[in-house]
A and B are shown apart, each in its own frame.
Chain A
Amino acid sequence: MSDTPVRRTSLHAEHVRLGARMVPFAGWEMPIQYSGIVDEHNACRNAAGLFDVSHMGELELSGPLAGDVINERITNDASKLQPGQALYTCCCQESGTVLDDLIIYRAGAEAWMVVCNASNRDKIVGVFEAASKGRCEFRDRSDATALIALQGPKAFDILDRAGADAAKLRELRPFGFRDAVVCNLQTTVARTGYTGEDGVEIFVGWDDAPALWSQLLALGADLGLKPVGLGARDTLRMEAKLPLYGQEIDDTIHPLEAGLGWVVKLDKGEFVGRSALVAAKEKGSPRKLVGFEMTGRGIARHGYELLDTSGNVVGLCTSGSPSPTTGKNIGIGYLPVELAGIGTPFLVNCRGKHIEAVVAKTPFITKKRPSSTSV
């Protein structure tokens, strides 16, 4: 038992009513599963899933210099964003290693929002509060803002039933967002997610979240919508090879070796960590983040050693699980670049048993086109 007080989202009573098993996560009491991880995972892949991610942090920066303040603290280039557009990025320290991965939203000419991981909220609040000082307004809106993700091939069919404005959300482009009325509630809806499926993330007032949650669940029930807990959120993101802070990335790893070079814009101008990342790029990383499949009988888990075929420790598993969609046992981990080619055999030390694995193509699932373009 931890001594730190555990916080609850405004959806706590909904989770309990739905029979969720609640667990501590990053200082919060969150649902790990409702009907079961595999059932929820499949619902999201085949129909839709509803996720409470209200524990994430929402920070607002505003003023003429807010965009500059943000851009100096991130690796991607926020100056390219138009109002209504968002982007994924890393926030690094001077050493070039990752403090957090973020989504940056440009709401208006001088209005910005930063969404960070719950586990890093205090750290990221500190970073942006300090960077804002004397240059722009800063507000931590996390306690007032709930976040509900609606993900899966039926996500927009469900929004079609959530009011006239919600029915037009199909027109959002990937990483686009706008204010919208959903189930008669004022929300901000972004076409983003963490599952490898099409869908949206809906920002809503803390106290409005239960009404939004229960209405969406009712609207989508006959289409197969189910509430999804952190357990399936993890297997879904793993199949899509989306990194999880604390596993694939942390403050000892730089984004280039994590396969996140696409969010590092070294040419955009000065930002914290730039010189270290320039040096890292010139030098080249000795290790690479890869996906793999177990070919022997075993399940790789976070923290397991990866071995070459002679049994020497050469890498580390950052995430691993059975993959409900592929039926295989999959993993993500760091291997030396010379062992990182697709098809390369190696071993996973599963608690003393050396089980065969092979580097695999990722994402483990094939990417689907957004439903708006597949009509």
Chain B
Amino acid sequence: MSTNDLPADCQFTKDHEWARTEGADLVVGITRFAVEQLGDITLVSLDVKVGAHIDEGKAFGTIESVKTLSDLYAPVSGTITKVNGALNDKPELVNDDCYNAAWMIAITPDSPDAANALLDRAAYAAHCDAQH
């Protein structure tokens, strides 16, 4: 995978989530690599409420394709500030536009520099290549 296939303003996790800093929040979704592994997305369940606290690595929901189900993991610990309700009725947004319209949640991290621990584009691209 080329780093150019990845959005320049995002950081990544080994579980194939992306995180984009917007003000004090990290907006979170899943990467194109994850979407391609899953195939046709048919259901997104975001099982967290605005105001709730979530720990890094804990599941904030599930995503299902025709064939499989995957958990969605919080990339950092923090407080949920937004949940993308549009995915309830339009899970296919994840296939169409995983880096923008299909954002999933926004988190205010407990620690302001929590995002520094995430992977940059080059490290994430290398991680994906190693999985092939």
List chain B residues, Cβ under 8 A from A329: 42-43
Cβ contacts B69-103/A at 8 Å (1 or 0 each) = 10000000000000000001000000000000000
On whether the beta carbons of A299 and B42 are closer than 8 Å, the reply is yes
- Inter-chain CA distance A231–B65, complex, in Å, is 11
B52 in contact (CB, < 8 A): no
Enumerate chain A residues within 8 angstroms of B69, measured Cβ to Cβ.
Answer: 299, 301, 351
CB pair A299 B40 closer than 8 Å: no
Q: Mark A284-302, 1 if CB is under 8 A from B, else 0.
A: 0000000000000111010
Q: Which of B29-81 contact A (CB under 8 A)?
A: 39-40, 42-43, 45, 62, 64-67, 69
Q: Which residues of B contact A38 (CB under 8 A)?
A: 39-40, 66
Chain B residues with CB under 8 A of A299: 42-43, 64, 69
The prevalent SS among residues of A at the interface is: mixed
B39 near A33 with CB under 8 A, answer yes
User: Which DSSP category, helix, strand, loop or mixed, fits chain B's interface?
Assistant: strand
In the complex, the chain A residue whose C-beta lies closest to that of B37 is A21
Cβ–Cβ < 8 Å partners of A321 in chain B? 66-67
A36 close to B39 (CB less than 8 A): yes
| A231, A298, A351, A353: the one within 8 Å of B67 (CB) | A231
Q: Which B residues touch A32, using CB under 8 A?
A: 67
A322 (CB) vs chain B CBs: closest residue: B42
Q: How far is the CA of A1 from the CA of B88 in the complex (A)?
A: 35
For residue A298, which residues in chain B have a CB less than 8 angstroms away from its CB?
43, 45
Give bound CA distance, A60 to B40, whole Å. Answer: 41
Contact among B43, B62, B66, B88 for A37, CB-based, below 8 A = B66
A234 to B39, CA, bound (A): 15
A235 within 8 A of B: yes
If A231-B66, A324-B66 are given as contacts, then 8 extra A-B residue pairs at C-beta distance below 8 Å, sorted by A number, are A37-B39, A37-B67, A231-B39, A301-B69, A322-B43, A322-B66, A351-B62, A353-B45
A–B Cβ pairs within 8 angstroms, 12 of them: A36-B39, A36-B40, A37-B39, A37-B67, A231-B67, A235-B66, A297-B45, A298-B43, A321-B67, A322-B42, A324-B66, A329-B43
Chain B residues close to A by CB (< 8 Å): 39-40, 42-43, 45, 62, 64-67, 69, 88
